[in-house]
Chains A and B, each alone.
Chain A
Amino acid sequence: MTIPSTASLGFLPRSDGSASFSQGRTSVIASVNGPMEVRIRDELPQEAYIEVIVRPAIGVTGTREKYLESRLLSALKPIILRSNHPRTLIQIVVQVVQSAGSEDNAITTLLLLAPSLNAAVLALLDAGVPLKSVLSATTVAFLKGSGKLIVEPELEDLKKAASKHVLAFTSAGLLGFVESEGEFEYEDFERVVEAGRNVCSAGREGDDNDTKMDTGGQGVGELMRKVVREKVEKDLRWRA
């Protein structure tokens, strides 16, 4: 039984943009503020300084959060049109609401990556920060022996998996972010990427029905488009 992913947008009144995203038992909230005044130390003359802060569900920020921050930053930085707002700060805060497992290990960290990335992208869209493209991320598990792929796996699936992959694609299907771990051959990786691309890129023709089934009939890319569409429609409701 997979829990369908959910997302919502613009519910924090005091931030420029906000979004929540939950995938399976992992749930995060992201908020975006900016472009705003930047600390002198971080000021860049030609582009906006992007700051990502990850706050854990319990406890204080540690190396695990720093690691997540650096990975999220590497995925988000290239899609933001930073040169549009030089000498400013765009701050992205990701608050973990619920983590898939109680243990602090590589798998739970891995499971946090995709929802955090999706929430951050949605919050950036909500805040109206200029973006080059939209990224959507998913997790894929590659099972031992059978070679079966599970898109958006649960913690238990990942424990059994030979390799785990977090992938992010633009809506055009370009690969923007990879974090793969385990033991695998390049051919397996190619299959994983194809499966990930099918759920992440929205509105693409010839979508593979098998992989779509796994996510309850709706890919991440489409889900993200759906919530943004609802928000824009609500904003423009007065015209109806």
Chain B
Amino acid sequence: MLVFPGDPLPSIPPPPKANTTLKVGPGLTHTPPDNIVVHKAGELNIDERRHALWIEGNGKRYIPSLNDVVIVTVLRSTSDAYICTIPSSISPAPSSTQAMLPHLAFPGATKKTRPQLYPGCTVYARISLANKHMDPELECYDAESQKAEGFGELKGGMVFNVSLGMARRLLGDGKKIRQLRLKQRKVEAEKGGEDLATDDEEISNGMEVLEELGRVLPFEVAVGRNGRVWVDSEEPKVTLCVGRCIQQSEFLTGKEQRALVREALKKL
């Protein structure tokens, strides 16, 4: 269902269990006590099981949000932190958000053992503080395990720009939506008294391109929610091929993405 700013929301289904708080996602603003307003144009999604609703849309400008993984660039170092810039999809962005990455925000880092980063370094980090009134802060370790888990400097490789929606899909958000869709279809089919005719393959999870490429080519990839994709492999040819395929898959369905990859691999 497509909604516009200021549109009235449809009635929200009651929570599956009592005491479940309603989760209000992007595109919606909650004003106490119980007024929820749409502030973005996009598709309204309601997840009944998790009792959550959000608006799915696409954008180019990244706004930092807690626990998002992002690909940032180091600008300079101060006495206790690196000042980084969080770029958005547009490159070079007219004006990007600046963020602080403390020197000690690396797994097991001390004053002496901290990794040395230089201006221009690409870093894969997690947002540890996001607040509209403050500049965001970054960390290079997993919140639960306190280990690196892939965070840290991204050496070599190339960075590609994609839209924010594409970046979210590549991180697997599409799968969640796909499951939601499947469930909705099932409910609808049951209502209509028919069997579910469509098979699972038909609904894309939005990242077939990566799955297909990964089956054949050896490469490393890191996706930042700020619309940046870092790709590295042994051969620059492969890196470029992967990056291009990802960029071209923006508006393609699952089937088309597979076809695109097959074509690209032939040329390679």
Asked whether the complex places CB atoms of A and B closer than 8 A, the reply is yes
Chain A residues within 8 Å of B, Cβ to Cβ: 13-17, 33-37, 79, 81, 84-87, 89, 125, 127-128, 130-134, 170-172, 225, 228-229, 232, 234-240
| B95 contacts chain A at the CB level, 8 A cutoff | yes
Residues of B within 8 A of A133 (CB): 5-6
**B59 engages A128 (CB within 8 Å):** yes
25 A-B pairs in the complex with CB atoms less than 8 angstroms apart: A14-B94, A16-B88, A16-B90, A35-B63, A36-B95, A37-B97, A86-B132, A125-B5, A125-B40, A128-B59, A130-B39, A130-B40, A132-B39, A134-B6, A134-B41, A171-B7, A232-B2, A232-B42, A235-B165, A238-B169, A238-B249, A238-B252, A238-B253, A239-B206, A239-B253
Cβ-neighbour of A238 out of B60, B97, B254 (below 8 A): B254
Beta-carbon nearest neighbor of A37 in chain B: B95
Closest 9 CB pairs of A and B: A133-B6, A36-B95, A131-B5, A130-B39, A235-B58, A128-B59, A16-B61, A37-B95, A125-B41
Partner of A237, one of B88, B97, B132, B251: B251
B56 interface residue (CB < 8 Å to A):
yes
Whether the pair A81, B204 counts as a contact (CB closer than 8 A) is: no
B residues near A16, Cβ cutoff 8 Å: 59-61, 88, 90
Q: Report the number of A-B residue pairs with Cβ-Cβ less than 8 Å.
A: 114
Chain A residues closer than 8 Å to B249, beta-carbon distance: 238
Residue of A nearest to B250 (CB): A238
Min Cβ gap B121→A in Å is 22
Interface contact B94-A237, CB-CB below 8 Å: no
| A134, B40: Cα distance in complex, Å | 10
User: Which residues does chain A contribute within 8 Å of B4, judged by CB atoms?
Assistant: 125, 134, 171, 225, 228
- Contact assessment for A13 and B37 in the assembled complex, using a CB-CB cutoff below 8 Å: no
- B 224-268 contacts with A by CB, 8 A: 249-254, 257
Total residues of chain B contacting the partner, CB 8 A: 46
Bitwise, B140-173 to A at CB < 8 A (1) or not (0) is 0000000000000000000000010100010000
Known: A132-B6, A171-B6, A225-B4. A13 touches B90 (CB 8 A): yes
Known A-B contacts A35-B61, A232-B43, A238-B169; the reply to A131 vs B90 at CB < 8 A is no
Given A13-B90, A132-B5, the answer on whether A239 and B95 have CB atoms closer than 8 Å is no
Chain A residue with the shortest CB-CB distance to B93: A36
Q: Knowing that A130-B40, A239-B203 touch, tell me 17 more A-B residue pairs with CB under 8 angstroms.
A: A33-B95, A37-B98, A86-B132, A125-B5, A130-B39, A131-B39, A133-B5, A134-B4, A170-B6, A228-B2, A229-B2, A235-B57, A236-B43, A237-B251, A238-B169, A238-B252, A239-B177
Q: Is B112 on the interface with A (CB-CB < 8 A)?
A: no
Nearest chain A residue, comparing its CB with the CB of B135: A87
Judged by a CB distance under 8 angstroms, whether B184 is at the interface is no
Chain B residues in the interface with A (C-beta under 8 A) = 2, 4-7, 29, 37, 39-43, 56-61, 63, 88, 90, 93-98, 132-133, 163, 165, 169, 174, 177-178, 181, 203-204, 206, 249-254, 257
Give complex CA distance A68, B88 in Å.
Answer: 31
| Residue pair A132, B133 in contact (C-beta under 8 Å) | no
Partner among A33, A132, A170, A228 whose Cβ is within 8 Å of the Cβ of B94 = A33
Q: How far is the CB of B157 from chain A (nearest CB, A)?
A: 24
In angstroms, how far is the closest chain B Cβ from the Cβ of A187? 30
Do A240 and B253 touch (CB < 8 A)?
yes
Closest to A224 in B: B4
Q: Which residues of A contact B88 (CB under 8 A)?
A: 16
* Residues of B with C-beta under 8 A to A170: 6
Q: Which residues of chain A come closer than 8 Å to B203, judged between CB atoms?
A: 239
Q: How far is the CA of A17 from the CA of B60 in the complex (A)?
A: 8
With A134-B4, A232-B41 as given contacts, are A239 and B204 in contact (CB-CB < 8 Å)? yes
